[in-house]
């Protein structure tokens, strides 16, 4: 039998992490475990770091853009209309 697994919990470290929303989470780690730099906040899912005053940036959440919005950004109006017409035609099964 090994000497571990006797029901005694190994000493654990509680490490506080803060996300950019100010949530604190305190996962515990085995003493010999490697503590990660960031931890996902269980409340909002943002990455949380050990520096309370300087939490990691939240993930970039770009507003969803429709295909047409991209087309309008990148192309001239005329091109955009042609592409839109083509897209609509495809939707209708005309191509």
Does residue 21 interact with Zn ion by CB under 5 A?
A: yes
Does residue 30 interact with Zn ion by CB under 5 A?
A: no
* Angstrom distances, CA of residue 25 to CA of 21, 73, 83: 12, 41, 49
Does residue 44 interact with Zn ion by CB under 5 A?
A: yes
Does residue 19 interact with Zn ion by CB under 5 A?
A: yes
Does residue 88 interact with Zn ion by CB under 5 A?
A: no
- One residue of 12, 13, 43, 69 binding Zn ion per CB under 5 A: 43
Residue closer to Zn ion by CB (options 23, 72) is 23
- Torsional class of 72: left (φ above 0), alpha (ψ -120 to 50), beta (otherwise): alpha
Residue closer to Zn ion by CB (options 45, 65) is 45
Does residue 69 interact with Zn ion by CB under 5 A?
A: no
DSSP string, 16-73: -EEETT--EE--EEETTSPPPSEEE-TTT--EEES-TTSPPPPPP-PPP--HHHHHHH
Does residue 41 interact with Zn ion by CB under 5 A?
A: yes
């Amino acid at each position: 039998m090994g000497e571990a697994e006797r029901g005694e919990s190994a000493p654990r470290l509680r490490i506080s992490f803060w996300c950019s929303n100010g949530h604190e989470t305190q996962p515990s780690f085995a003493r010999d475990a490697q503590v990660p730099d960031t931890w996902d906040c269980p409340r909002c899912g943002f990455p949380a770091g050990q520096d309370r005053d300087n939490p990691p940036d939240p993930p970039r959440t770009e507003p969803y853009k429709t295909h047409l919005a991209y087309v309008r950004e990148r192309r001239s109006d005329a091109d955009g209309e042609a592409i839109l017409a083509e897209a609509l035609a495809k939707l209708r099964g005309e191509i």
